[in-house]
Amino acid sequence: MNKTVNRRPHRYLPAAVLLLVAALIAGGTSRPANDLIVLAASLPLVFTLLSDTHAPQLIWTAKLALGLLALAALQLVPLPPEIWTMLPGRELAAATLAASGNEIGWRPVALDPGAASISLLTLCAPIALHIAVTRMSSGSVIKLLKIVAGFAIISAFLGIAQRLTGGLSVYQTEHIGAAIGLFANRNHHADLLIAGMLLITVLVPAHRQRELRVPASAAVAFLLFAVIATTSRAGIALAFPASIAALLIIWRPRKKAVIPIVLATFVAAIGILFIPAFDTIFDRFGAASSDQRITMARDSLVATRAMWPVGSGYGTFVPVYMAHEDLDMLEARYVVAAHNDFLQLVLEGGIHGVMTAIAGPVAVLFIGWHLLQSRAQPALWACWGIAVIVLLHSAVDFPLRTGTLAVIFGLCTGAAQTGEFRLRKRKRNGT
């Protein structure tokens, strides 16, 4: 827990807004140019953090993230050829170097040091915002959350227009025709819209919450329809419980009314299934058994075993996967990610990847436990819920590999903890 108080919490806000807006606009894909924009936008915030001589101690989750980042950087330390050639999975790389007439020399664990360096640098933005949020005032944090909620609503309009017109997409992607907003992937757009659902409450002033319940509920319903327009199966599946949680936050019913509200929402969700306009969307659920993710997971496991226990190096998934891909499943397009972030972490990071894959969900569970103990406000639970949604979706996709969702994840996990600590402090002071 932070023992010192930051005397200038507002100094972080301009740099944090710059980073968040840049991530929301340009972070919808993991292409190098977009990652560079988000990284550049994070530099003012990083400078502000490093130059703040009155800053409190790092929060425990920031220490955990920085510790894991430091361990990951060990992949870039050169090793003598006698050791490097003994590492699992280096046989093909060594043979290629020999065939081309190059000496093996000293080489790091990462098969592609450049790709590994870029992968680690992309973590600067979400970690920087995570740290900054824990040092900012509640009012400043709420402003950041409002930006995310407002952007989600704007993105929902854009997504629906894309669905209706079949165009207006920013990136050339196989998901053109679905509602993808400023993303290259419909699944990631769905995550942003779900985050908007849970953050609708921050758009409503506390003193007007009762009179604005109906408009806020309508906004949640609109975002739910926007998620359906993405045609993302995981997004739709996660959006329904998120919408129920959002409505409970908005209406804050008595315990006796919770079950009727949940049942009514469930009945409404069932009714949506019978709307003819959504038939083509929900037909995708029937094709789940033939989803390529099953094949991707199998081939990723083969590659993981070949590289265990040191991993292939962060950012090297594509070439390593292609080297172990089932030849009978080859297509003209190549697989850009394992569509299971936890499995990809293990493939690229080995034992360190296992540590990271476990640390994230465990940290979020601990945050939830502290929120429960402190009887936190619903808005803080909304931030925690967004982190949970992103982690759940990570089991079947790669949301945290896009700048937008990585930055939102850092924002929300930091915001949830900041509120928790303040609530506990008030409780001890008897106020």
DSSP code per residue over 68-108: HHHHHGGGGS-B-HHHHTTSTT-HHHHHHHHHTT----SB-
Query: Which residue's structure tokens are 């995550």?
Result: 191
CA–CA separation, 337 vs 387, rounded Å? 21
2-13 confidence digits (pLDDT tens) = 444 455 567 899
- The percentage of residues in the chain with a pLDDT greater than 70, rounded to a whole number, is 86
At residue 214, does pLDDT exceed 60? Answer: yes
Q: Which of 112-126, 164-178, 280-294 shows the lowest mean pLDDT across its residues?
A: 280-294
User: What is the pLDDT, as a whole number, of residue 425?
Assistant: 41
Query: Contact, 419 vs 137, CB < 8 A?
Result: no
For residue 45, give Cα distances in angstroms to 167, 386, 428. 36, 23, 32
Q: Work out the number of other CB atoms within 10 angstroms of the CB of residue 5.
A: 9
Tokens linked to 13: 């806000």
Tokens linked to 337: 């990610």
CA–CA separation, 386 vs 363, rounded Å? 14
48-67 confidence digits (pLDDT tens) = 999 988 878 899 999 999 99
User: What is the pLDDT, as a whole number, of residue 288?
Assistant: 53
User: What is the pLDDT, as a whole number, of residue 426?
Assistant: 41
Give every CB contact of residue 166 below 8 A, 6+ residues apart in sequence: 176, 177
More confident residue, 266 or 182: 182
Residue 109, Cα to own-chain centre: how many angstroms? Answer: 26
Query: Contact, 382 vs 198, CB < 8 A?
Result: yes
Domain ranges for the chain: 9-72+117-282+340-429
Beta bridge partners of 178: 176
Q: In this structure, what DSSP letter does residue 30 have?
A: -
Beta bridge partners of 176: 178
Tokens linked to 186: 């419909």
- The percentage of residues in the chain with a pLDDT greater than 90, rounded to a whole number, is 58
User: What is the pLDDT, as a whole number, of residue 35?
Assistant: 95
Residue 211 has, within 13 A of its CA and on its CB side, a CA count of 4
Q: What is the pLDDT averaged over residues 258-272?
A: 70
At residue 420, does pLDDT exceed 50? Answer: no
User: What is the pLDDT, as a whole number, of residue 97?
Assistant: 78
CA–CA separation, 162 vs 166, rounded Å? 5
Tokens linked to 65: 């993230």
Confidence band, pLDDT 50/70/90 cuts, at residue 428: very low
At residue 168, does pLDDT exceed 80? Answer: yes
CA–CA separation, 125 vs 15, rounded Å? 11
pTM (whole model) above 0.85: yes
Q: Which of 43-47, 370-374, 385-389 shows the lowest mean pLDDT across its residues?
A: 370-374
